[in-house]
Structure 1
Amino acid sequence: MQLKCTYQTAPRPPGPTFAFTLDNDHLVKLARTPVSVHKILVVMLVPRTQEEWLRASHDRLELRHCCYWINLAGHPVTGRRRTTVRIPTTRIFDDRALCEIMTRVGAGGRP
């Protein structure tokens, strides 16, 4: 799993996908096929200032806003140094999504 973080002006992307740009070296690692170990990209969208999305105290660590995931296996490199990928806003990365991903991969499927 590759975890990235980026900021947006709105806490929720306005459409069915949002753009995220990766260095081609990272994309090649995530897009390699066939694979013996599946990889996914998880992107957390946060506000510009850390105070708006992260709060830490003695009894909790609170992360606000949302993570989204995508399986980039087979995704082509299209830029010279960086490639923009579209991440579906329906793929929220939470405990349920992680369990479903693990179940599919455990049964021999793709994330």
Structure 2
Amino acid sequence: MSKREMKIKPVIDRTFTDCMEQLQEGYVCAVAATAGCTVEALRRDLFGGDLLITRDGKTAHDQEVSLLLQLKNTTTVRPDPDKETFSYQLKKREYFDRLAAPRKHPKLLLVVMTTSPNQTEWTKGTHDSLEVQYCCYWRSLEGEQAADGVQKPTVRIPTRNVFDAVALTDILDRLDRGEELT
């Protein structure tokens, strides 16, 4: 057993990574609901996206705006909010290439959740609320380049890019106006 595996404290070993994905999907769904959006899980990861977020137009004559998300969840990264960025290493070059490819519509964002290796610490409930103890950060990699030969590219994610309802609304507003997300 590796040192990393000894530090992970799952409730049930065989479902830990599935539960990490479920936690992140729940987080994103809650953020999207707060921002007035719908979320559709994509059964097949053909385009590099795990979820499709859609916000309806403000009137019946306005077009909706959509956004694809590639979700990643890690127990090995602890972003320091006092630093401008943190590093996240993608496990495959293909993930980076899909995220970096120019897209017309919908745009594709990387959303990284940092999670405790102790599964029982992921949420805290009270009579007033349920709190998810860790958060997601977003980054657009469109147009970025990875060095030749690098099979597991590392990306820098701004700590200011917390993925919450305010950020999602701003992202969708910018897309609706035709602005870039860099």
**TM-score of the superposition, structure 2-length normalised?**
0.53
Distance 1:30 1:110, change over 3 A: same
* Unaligned segments of structure 2, at least 5 residues: 1-68
SS across alignment from 2:161: coil
**1:12 CA drift (Å):** 4.2
More helix by share: 2
Distance 1:68 1:76, change over 3 A: same
**Identity across aligned pairs (percent)?**
37
- The answer to whether the 8 A contact 1:45-1:65 is kept is yes
- The answer to whether the 8 A contact 2:75-2:115 is kept is yes
Rounded Cα–Cα distance in structure 2 between residues aligned with 1:10 and 1:100: 25
* Unaligned segments of structure 1, at least 5 residues: none
1:68 and 2:137 are equivalent in the alignment: yes
Where relative contact order (Cα < 8 A, 6+ residues apart) is larger, the structure is 1
More strand by share: 1
Rounded Cα–Cα distance in structure 2 between residues aligned with 1:30 and 1:9: 20
Task: Name the residue aligned to 1:44.
Answer: 113
SS across alignment from 1:19: strand
Whichever residue aligns with residue 97 of structure 1, its letter is A
Rounded Cα–Cα distance in structure 2 between residues aligned with 1:64 and 1:87: 19
**TM-score of the superposition, structure 1-length normalised?**
0.83
How many pairs are equivalent?
Answer: 110
Rounded Cα–Cα distance in structure 1 between residues aligned with 2:173 and 2:104: 17
Rounded Cα–Cα distance in structure 2 between residues aligned with 1:14 and 1:80: 29
Rounded Cα–Cα distance in structure 2 between residues aligned with 1:80 and 1:90: 27
Q: Greater CA radius of gyration, 1 or 2?
A: 2
SS across alignment from 1:82: coil
**1:9 CA drift (Å):** 6.7
